[in-house]
Every structure is written in C-alpha cells, then in structure tokens.
Structure 1
C-alpha cells in the first residue's frame, strides 16, 4: 500500500501538455493511457479539436474524467505556470540554436518526479518548433527504429507515461536513471519567463539586441540560463541588476559614471 501511495503522489506533480493537438481521437487516447498509468493532469494548448466531443470520449473509454478535468490554455507559457521543470519531446535533429542533448526517456524522466513539472508534446503534423522547445530545460527523444522513427502522438505519450509509472515505483531511483542532474532549479518557470522578458526589453533598449534578431539571440540566453538551473535567490539578484541598469539609464547616470572613471587616477 505504501508503494502505491508513493507512486501516485510522485505522478500527481506531473502535467502532460499537448500543444495544438489536431485529432480528437489522439486526445482521447492520451487521456486513457494517462489514467492507465496513474497520471491526472492534462493541459491542452490551443487545441484544434473538441476534447469533449464524441470521438475523444469514445477513445478515452473510462478516462472521460481526465478529459473533463483537462485545462485549456492559449499559450505554452500559460500551460507551464507553476512548474519548476519542463521536458520537451522531439523526434527531429536539433538546430545549433538550441541544445543538442537529446536524452532517453528512462534517463531524463526521473527529473520530473517530486516537484511541479511538465512533459510537453507537439502537434501531430510538425512536432514542437524551436520557439516552443525554448521553454523547456531538457529534451527527450524516444529511440525508435530508423526504418520508421515517427511515432503517433498518443503512442509517444503512452511510452513516456509507462516510463514515468515504472520510475515512480522505484522508491529510490539510482543515479543511472538521471537523478544526479546537478542543482535542480526550484524557480517556477513563469518567474524565469519574467526575467527573460525583462532582459530582452533592456537589451533592445541599449542596442545589444535588434528587433529582427532578438528572437534567435534570446533563445541562446534561455539555453544558457536554463542550463544554469538558477535558484529563486539568483533570479532575484539578476533581476535586481537589470533594474539597477534601467534606473541608471533613466537617470542618465551612465555618463556621470563614465566621467568619474576617466578622472580616476587608477
């Protein structure tokens, strides 16, 4: 009994996030496999189908409650509100603008246990694009046959849900399962997002970024800070630096500071 309680508690933290799902049959199948494996939180980002329609309910069978409790949001950042960790799934080769570390499910998924977290899946026809991938801290690819590597959305969710249940049943996951990831961030992802928005605004203002290139440059900053696994205190410190720079600009203090440094005998 204690093992079942531990398993359910650990899985309760995890959200399955579907970005722009197009097929009601897939959404219903996802709900069913989530309930099969003990996961409860389903978040739908701008769905292109009716998650409570007949097709979805027919595929969900006895998991209609998962569909009824699913939360529909308009953006991925909104879906990640309250999460401390996020893993994005992808089946394609990565561009150099994003991390190249694609991890195996059994290696990376333990990282989602025991704190508010999200596992993100892209639309059936294209997967997650680079903008969507940039909101995640780590990246998962299901190793499949080179003869036909592409998995159906519901199949991909099913594989990952099974692995999460398997790992949750392990009371003390070993380092080989990926729990050794250093200094895991305890910062809600919306707090990090606020820092990124403040950073981008300031860098545009001082001319380090230009509007036509800011998106690609900010992806690199996101990669850097996501890799750093910042604490809440560190984010507060970084935002304080940005706020001080903004104050200095507004007060025209940069000129005075520069003149003082030039006049210094050192």
Structure 2
C-alpha cells in the first residue's frame, strides 16, 4: 500500500480551516485516507473546502467515526503525535526516525494519530499507539499548529519512500594526486619566477594554495584548465622578454 495505506487520524478537530489545510497537504505528499474522530466542526463547510483547494475529494471521502478505536480498526501499526516533553514513561522519537516504520508492513494499513488543537491526545488515547513522536520546535515557542504538524509528518513520510539513485548522468572524474601535484609544482615555479613567492617562504605559502585547491576536490578537466592558464602566462612572460 505504501503511502496510500496510511490513515491520517484527527481526534476531535475543531477548526474547519485546519481540516481543509490538512486535506491539501495530504494530497501534496500522496496521502489520501483522512479519518475524523468525533469532529467538532463540519469538514465539508465552505471554509474547509476553500482551504482544501484542489484536494476537496479528500474531504468528501473522509471517514467520520465516534471513537479512536474505530478509527484504528484493521490497522497493524499506529504512531501518535504529542507536544509533551518526554517523562520517561512515554519514549518520544524524532519523526524522521519513527515514521518510516508505518510503511514496513507492506499491504497492511497503518495510522498516524493527531490530537486536538488545544490539548492534544489524552493518556487513554495515547495507549492505542505503539510508538510516539514529537516534532522538535524552538523553546521560544513550543506549540505547533495542527495543520503544520500534519504537513511536517506527511513530508517526512513521503521522503522515506523516495529512492536514492546513484549519480549516473553527471559522473565526476576527480584528478589523481599525481596530476594535482604536477599542477602545484608548475604553479610554484611560475610564482617564484614572477616574484610572488620567495625561495625562503615558498613552502609555507604554497601550503595555503594546496589547502585552497584540495578543498575544491579538483576534477581532471579542471586541473587541465588551470595548467593551461599557467602555460599561457608563461608564454606571455617569455614573449614579452623577446620583444
């Protein structure tokens, strides 16, 4: 099922604007199952529909149930979100770490549970989840808007399904140490010739150039370009002397 098998469960949502915004962000990231537990607002109200924009079908297909157990019927895994600080009895995890777990049971539905806007989930409701997450926020303002919290979690869920593909279209050929060393020797000789370096300080000054270019992880073509510049400068110097 993947993302299609994850239910976003809202317990007693009170704000139609929040519900509409949640439907929109769900569609943004490929989730479609919205379950409302005893909603305190009309999920089909003009306000909710207006906020949903092009995700109205998620509101129209949302399932309304009287209790959290009913919302979790058939699910094999459930994660609850909370804004509480960890007290030892409730092991809180980072969303990035815990959320991919919802997708591991292929073909089986799972649920991500969000509490009320004003007070979150009760202790009894938390007991229905197997794992718990808390979105890290600034200590200056800990409270997070419900729709924002859902959006962050939907994003993290979606990111966990994106395969990391090897870089094949832009293959980088890094220059060998020997090739880069030849460039350094050519650079040092030129800088000594034009008086930028002095023999007694050349070694220490060249260390700075080595550090600079080593940080760039030069590619073979880039070394060839730099050495071409040095050769042109050498030619210009010699040509000027012949005049």
- Shorter-chain TM-score: which interval? 0.5 to 0.7
Q: Which residue is 1:18 aligned to?
A: 10
1:158 correspondence with 2:148: no
Residue deviations 1:108-127, cap 9 Å, x none? 00100133100000000100
Q: Which residue is 2:126 aligned to?
A: 133
TM-superposed deviation, 1:135: 0.4
Distance 1:95 1:111 in 2: 23
Q: Point out the structure with the larger helix share.
A: 1
Unaligned 5+ segments in structure 2 are 166-243
Q: Which residue is 1:52 aligned to?
A: 44
TM-superposed deviation, 1:10: 1.0
Q: Could you say what secondary structure the match of 2:56 adopts?
A: helix
1:29 correspondence with 2:21: yes
Residue deviations 1:150-209, cap 9 Å, x none? 10000000000000010011379xxxxxxxxxxxxxxxxxxxxxxxxxxxxxxxxxxxxx
Distance 2:161 2:42 in 1: 31
Instruction: Give 1:37-186 correspondences, 5 Å limit.
Output: 37-94=29-86, 99-113=89-103, 114=106, 115-170=108-163
The runs of at least 4 aligned residues of structure 1 exceeding 4 Å deviation read none
Unaligned 5+ segments in structure 1 are 1-8, 173-266
TM-superposed deviation, 1:71: 0.1
Distance 1:149 1:170 in 2: 33
Q: Could you say what secondary structure the match of 2:64 adopts?
A: strand
> How many residue pairs align between the two structures?
162
Distance 2:164 2:59 in 1: 29
Distance 1:170 1:91 in 2: 30
Larger Rg: 2
Distance 1:79 1:118 in 2: 9
Q: Which residue is 1:226 aligned to?
A: none
